[in-house]
């Protein structure tokens, strides 16, 4: 991902996010805005490059009909609020997920430190 907190380089999009995989690549491009959460998403393109077919397919993005009634800044968060209001909290990550993820990161850092600093205890 290339991220700039400045005006885009002249002639280039504000945001280009590429996700590389073994069987293909996904590229999300925003010509105008680099803050997708606050963007109207009107200028965003999503493309999938399938290595097996050697074809690039453009994926159309659209908001669910009920979200179109909301201001654009509320659309990204509306489903989260609805899930919590309807007691569907397991649909999204919660504090327990965060604690487990921190444990995973601690393990990764501990292993990296042991590999790169033999004899030094990890703090």
User: What's the pTM value of the predicted model, to 2 decimals?
Assistant: 0.61
Q: Which residues form the domain of 111? A: 63-117
pLDDT in tens, the chain (123 residues): 556 677 888 898 888 889 999 999 999 998 887 777 666 777 889 999 999 999 999 998 887 888 889 988 888 788 788 888 887 777 788 888 899 999 999 999 998 888 888 766 555
The answer to whether residues 85 and 37 belong to one domain is no
Under DSSP, the state recorded for 93 is: -
Q: List Cα–Cα distances, 118 to 1, 108, 109, in angstroms.
A: 33, 15, 14
The Cβ of residue 50 has, within 10 Å, a number of other Cβ atoms equal to: 12
The answer to whether residues 23 and 71 belong to one domain is no
Q: Which of 10, 93, 13 is nearest to 1 (CA)?
A: 13
In a domain, 123, yes or no: no
The answer to whether residues 106 and 86 belong to one domain is yes
């Amino acid at each position: 991902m290339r991220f700039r907190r400045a005006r885009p380089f002249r002639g280039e999009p504000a945001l280009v996010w590429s996700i590389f995989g073994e069987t293909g690549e996904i590229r999300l491009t925003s010509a105008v805005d680099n803050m997708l959460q606050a963007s109207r998403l009107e200028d965003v393109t999503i493309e999938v490059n399938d290595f097996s077919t050697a074809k690039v397919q453009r994926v159309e993005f659209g908001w669910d009909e009920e979200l179109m009634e909301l201001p654009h800044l509320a659309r990204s968060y509306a489903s989260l609020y609805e899930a919590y209001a309807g007691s569907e909290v397991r649909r999204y990550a919660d504090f327990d997920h965060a604690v487990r993820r921190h444990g995973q990161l601690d393990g990764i850092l501990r292993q990296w430190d042991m590999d790169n600093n033999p004899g030094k205890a990890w703090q």
